[in-house]
Structure 1
């Protein structure tokens, strides 16, 4: 493996001793030493990325009629039971799940969508029924209490358009509807609430990056934060789309991402500047017994993986 290019700066405070030059001190001073030690070395690929909230999804009007009388603000986070919008001042709440309200649910209805509704009612604090997928009279009573709290007619019946269903909490990214107009078409767009970074990684690293791969993100304000790869997309001819999760931050925009593309754990390593070139090729380190040939491995963070030496051995490094 070729040794990476590096810049070595020699300098420091000059000796103030009378009659002694810095050159003569450097010639007589004993060399500094470093110890061969076990380390974990990681090498990363630095790329540009965008910090945001991931994919944006449209929210259409659920029934396509009535006047739109209220919308949330951009940046609002909507949780289970929160109002997504109002039509004719009637609240359209958010429920969690994977099945849209596609049919009318009433006494006697059965199915996974009924269980989903009952699970949401239970999570919102309504009691007196079992979330078993059977729309019983106890379910009807719970729905009526829910409708009362929403300010609706207490029919005990849930119709398509009475709520918006999503897989979890959502953050409002954009408003596309206009209050005072017919509630039709796309009313708003939202995202998940987890901060993510989207990057396009060089296709050469497709085999090295997978969910769970560690990374470091440098934010617009200059601070850094750890990250993990959460999703690897389908590679194209030019790039590999990668999504990373990061702790919640206020900063949004372009960031610099260093993705760990190679890690060597529990290997013997020395500082890079402990290496000396051998006349016949390759490298050695200088120990008390003289030059010891070594085989180099991964270079990372100012250290290099070496074999041919023993742990704890003292090797010379430039001062």
Structure 2
């Protein structure tokens, strides 16, 4: 009753070179460098006397102040504006394709998607494909899904539930009559294609006059809303959380808000002797009225997408390079007061833009701490 659907990998190419803003990964790399260096020159705190501070042997080569600010763990990547992921409609009917749509056509519930032997294959809404014919006595969620569509198309006289009754069959006969089909009361497998919403025909995999049968690809399709696709490195997957908001900057510099709808892993085959690579593919839908209006003028376009993995307001921060690895574990900073300095342990929080959130006894806005040259 439906065509099989399969995900088509995002189109390759049409990408600009990726521009990254310094993010947490760079900060962590810097922190790792601090830790490695600290392993050779770790600071031993004086735990006696109750001060909790270790005296430095000499003043640091440079200093900075603890500042209070908002930290945002952000990263900007190149994205491709289009219609989101593409899917394939696969025939389950034996015969000849007698009519196919054109690329760009929008098909809604109850409308013909393509035609086999002069009879229409119809689009209906649902998140799962059909896998068997429906006839009197059939029970299951697929029955309910079909009946909901039948009711939405204006047919009645039956109860929308998981049981295909004789009342359902009578409504189906009326539906078949309206479509010019034989009035059998049974919905054959392949007569209906399910998609979650209206679809836009992306490309044709077969033409009118071609033979078709079970497993024959007919066309690819997308949704009708605009969406942005971004590929991230696997190490940046933390930036993409399903449901999170992102900022999308369009070619005219207009910035709109999008929401991450899907995060999936894509394996790209290597070229020549190169090994396959794994990427994280992120789909971002532009469904707000402002975003729809701003993106309407573009069919396909390169855009910038800013992800925010974390944000901390009004926190104390120091440069990551100010951190010192402590012999007993953890990190500290070298607090400078006049001609003397002491190592003070700190608790670290968010890393962003080369800075880190810190807190601890004696750490306040304006506190002077040591840094490398």
Q: What is the match of residue 17 of structure 1?
A: none
Structure 1, residues 208-250: CA drift from partner, whole Å, max 9, x if none?
4422333211223332211233333348877543332224323
Aligned to 2:11: none
Alignment of 1:39-188 (within 5 A): 41-66=71-96, 68-184=97-213, 185-188=216-219
Change in Cα spacing, 1:282 to 1:168, as seen in structure 2 (3 Å) is farther
Q: Take 2:208 and 2:230, find their aligned partners in 1: how far apart are those partners?
A: 36
Worse overlay, 146-155 or 229-238: 229-238
Q: 1:61 to 1:204 in 2, by over 3 A?
A: closer
Is the CA contact 1:203–1:235 (under 8 Å) kept in the aligned structure 2?
A: no
Determine if contact 2:265/2:278 at 8 Å carries over to the other structure: no
Aligned to 1:8: none
Aligned to 2:262: 231
3-state DSSP of counterpart to 2:173 = helix
Looking at structure 1, the residues matched to 165 and 237 of structure 2 have their Cα atoms a distance apart, in angstroms, of 53
User: Which residue of structure 1 aligns with residue 312 of structure 2?
Assistant: 264
Long gaps (5+) in structure 1 = 3-35, 270-280, 284-294, 311-319
Distance 1:103 1:204 in 2: 42
CA distance in 1 between partners of 2:249 and 2:312 (Å): 23
Alignment match, 1:241: 281
Q: CA 1:153–1:203 in 2, change beyond 3 Å: closer, same or farther?
A: closer
* Equivalent residue, structure 1, for 2:12: none
Q: How many pairs are equivalent?
A: 255
> With structure 2 as the length reference, what TM-score do the two structures score?
0.57
Are residues 166 and 222 of structure 1, via their aligned partners in 2, closer, same or farther at CA, if it must alter by over 3 Å?
same
Give the Cα separation in 1 of the matches to 2:257 and 2:243: 12
Unaligned stretches of 5+ residues in structure 2: 1-26, 31-66, 268-276, 318-333, 337-345, 367-373
Query: Are the aligned partners of 2:238 and 2:309 in contact in 1 as well (CA < 8 Å)?
Result: no
Q: CA 1:46 to 1:118, structure 2 compared with 1: closer, same or farther past 3 Å?
A: same
Deviations 1:123-171 (Å, cap 9, x if unpaired)?
A: 2221111122222221111111111221222222211122112333322
* Larger Rg belongs to: 1
Contact 1:199 1:243 (C-alpha < 8 Å) held by counterparts: yes
Question: Is the 2:104–2:201 Cα contact (8 Å) retained in structure 1?
Answer: yes
Distance 1:253 1:198 in 2: 11
The answer to whether 1:193 aligns with 2:224 is: yes
Higher relative helix content: 2
After TM superposition, give the deviation of residue 188 of structure 1 in Å: 0.8
| SS class of match (2:178) | helix
RMSD between superposed Cα atoms in Å: 3.7
